[in-house]
Structure 1
Amino acid sequence: MNINEIKQLTKGKQYNFLRDNEHLGKNIVLLGVTGSHGTGVNTKNSDVDIRGCATNSKREILLGKDFEKIEDKPTDTIVYSFPKLVRLLTKCSPGVIELLGLKKEYYLYISEVGQRILDNKKMFLTQKAIKSFGGAVTNQLKLIRSGKAKNIGKECSLLIRMYLIGLDIIEKGEIITYREKERDLLLDIRNGKYIDKNGNIMSEFFKIVQKYEDRFIHGKEITTLPKEPDWEAINDFISSVNEDIVCWQIPERYKEL
């Protein structure tokens, strides 16, 4: 399924919740295709993963309420509230940070507020990425070694993908979700190039893992990322967005995909 087919898919009944849910609809500010499609390693059987952000309503902001997230498991869609998204971004959460590094065509919707989030994405990049991505790859490696993974090729590919995205953040301060340069490598891994006829992972794969782990360790030593987020700048950003919502100064609101 290509991106145009995905865009058409999201106009169907199964995605009506994006338009009808009281917290979504006109409150959506950012919506993108993540997962295998967003990173460029999708196959014909790949699921469609959609992630996004919606602002709280004027009433919710004034009352200090937050819906946090809307999740639709049948379509593998999660839309975070603006405050929840910001909290996760300040932790450099791997599953969320990739939403800010998609190729342009993989964004289904970007409002004025959504563009402001994308324009300020580097504000969220700190050395917290070392812990978040380091923890993610450690857990992923444990899953792979446990023998409990349902699709070992897919899980191995995901491991390397997390290394690559994390390394870009730590080494260069950039979020690059679509892995064009490494696409062939990731697809080879996913399609079983490093799995023997008995279903065991070959030693060559773990040599690849070690190469990226060594880079990750070195990256921790040379990174120029700040240790902590600039909380004053982040709070100013949150305040600015919320003020615009309360005062009805946001020019563009979501209507339909």
Structure 2
Amino acid sequence: MNINEIKQLTKGKQYNFLRDNEHLGKNIVLLGVTGSHGTGVNTKNSDVDIRGCATNSKREILLGKDFEKIEDKPTDTIVYSFPKLVRLLTKCSPGVIELLGLKKEYYLYISEVGQRILDNKKMFLTQKAIKSFGGAVTNQLKLIRSGKAKNIGKECSLLIRMYLIGLDIIEKGEIITYREKERDLLLDIRNGKYIDKNGNIMSEFFKIVQKYEDRFIHAKEITTLPKEPDWEAINDFISSVNEDIVCWQIPERYKEL
């Protein structure tokens, strides 16, 4: 399924919740295709993963309420509230920060507020990425070694993908979700090139893992990322968006998805 087919798919009944849910609809500010499609390693059987952000309503902001997220498991869609998204971004959460590094065509919708989030994405990049991505790859490696993974090739590919995205953040301060340069490697891993006829992972794969682990260790020692987020800048950003919502100063944010 290509991106145009995915865009057409989201217009169907199974995605009506994006238009009908009281917290979504006109409140959606950012929506993108993540997962295998977003990173460029999808196959014909790949699921469609959609992630996004919606602002709280004027009433919710004034009352200090937050819906946090809307999740639709049948379509593997999660839309975070603006405050929840910001909290996760300040932690450099791997599953969330990739939303800010998609190729342009993989965004299904970007409002004025959504564009402001994308324009300010470097504000969220700190050394917290070392802990978040380091923890993610450690947990992923444990899953792979445990023998409990249902699709070992897919999980191995995901491990390397997390290394790559994390390294770009720590080494260069960039979020690059679509892995064009490493696409062939990731697809080879996913398609079982490093799995023997008995279903065991070959030593060559773990040599690849070690290469990226060594690079990760070196990167965290020389990174120029700040240790902590610039909380004043982030709070100013949150305040600016919320003020615009309360004062009705945001342009029309919704169109048919």
How far 1:55 sits from its partner (Å)?
A: 0.1
List per-residue Cα deviations over 1:32-74 (Å, max 9, x = no partner): 0000000000000000000000000000000000000000000
Secondary structure of the residue that 1:150 maps to in structure 2? coil
Secondary structure at the counterpart of residue 80 of structure 1: strand
Q: Are the equivalent residues in 2 in contact too, given 1:37–1:48 (CA < 8 A)? A: yes
Does the 8 Å CA contact 1:157/1:190 hold for their aligned counterparts?
yes
What SS class does the counterpart of residue 198 from structure 1 fall into?
coil
Deviation of 1:237 after TM superposition, in Å, equals 0.0
Partner of 1:136 in structure 2? 136
Contact 1:19-1:255 at 8 Å conserved across structures: no
Is the CA contact 1:29–1:112 (under 8 Å) kept in the aligned structure 2?
yes
Shift of 1:253: 1.2
Q: Secondary structure at the match of 1:32?
A: strand
Q: Deviations over 1:91-134 (max 9, x none)?
A: 00000000000000000000000000000000000000000000
Q: Name the counterpart of 1:4.
A: 4
Deviations 1:123-149 (A, max 9, x none): 000000000000000000000000000
* SS of equivalent residue, structure 1 residue 195: coil
In 1, the alpha carbon distance for the partners of 2:46 and 2:198 equals 24
In the other structure, the counterpart of 1:67 is: 67
TM-superposed CA distance for 1:255, in Å, is 2.7
Distance 2:153 2:43 in 1: 12
Structure 1: 5+ residue runs without aligned partners? none
Matched, 1:99 2:99: yes
Q: For 2:194 and 2:89, how far apart are their aligned partners in 1?
A: 33
Q: Write the distance in 2 (CA, Å) between the matches of 1:63 and 1:24.
A: 18
Q: Is the 8 A contact 1:123 1:229 kept in 2?
A: yes
C-alpha separation between the residues in 2 aligned to 1:36 and 1:167?
18
Distance 1:214 1:232 in 2: 35
- How many angstroms apart in 2 are the aligned matches of 1:77 and 1:256? 17
The separation in 2 between residues aligned to 1:228 and 1:176, in whole angstroms, is 21
Deviation at residue 206 of structure 1 after TM alignment: 0.1
Render the CA deviation track for 1:142-176: whole Å, top value 9, x for unaligned: 00000000000000000000000000000000000
Q: 1: distance between equivalents of 2:66 and 2:3?
A: 31
Q: Is the 8 A contact 1:141 1:159 kept in 2?
A: yes
Contact 1:50 1:76 in 2 (8 A): yes
Shift of 1:254: 1.2
Counterpart-to-counterpart distance in 2, 1:231 and 1:250? 24
Aligned length: 257
Deviation at residue 202 of structure 1 after TM alignment: 0.1
Q: Distance in 2 between matches of 1:253 and 1:175?
A: 25
Q: Deviations over 1:175-194 (max 9, x none)?
A: 00000000000000000000
Tell me which moved more, 108-117 or 246-255.
Answer: 246-255
Return 5+ residue gaps in structure 2 as ranges. none
Helix, strand or coil at the partner of 2:71: strand
> How well do the aligned residues superpose, as a CA RMSD in angstroms?
0.3
TM-score if structure 2 supplies the norm length?
A: 1.00
After TM superposition, the runs of 4+ consecutive aligned structure 1 residues lying more than 2 A away are none
The whole-number CA distance in structure 1 between the counterparts of 2:252 and 2:40 is 30
Cα displacement (A) at 1:256 = 1.4
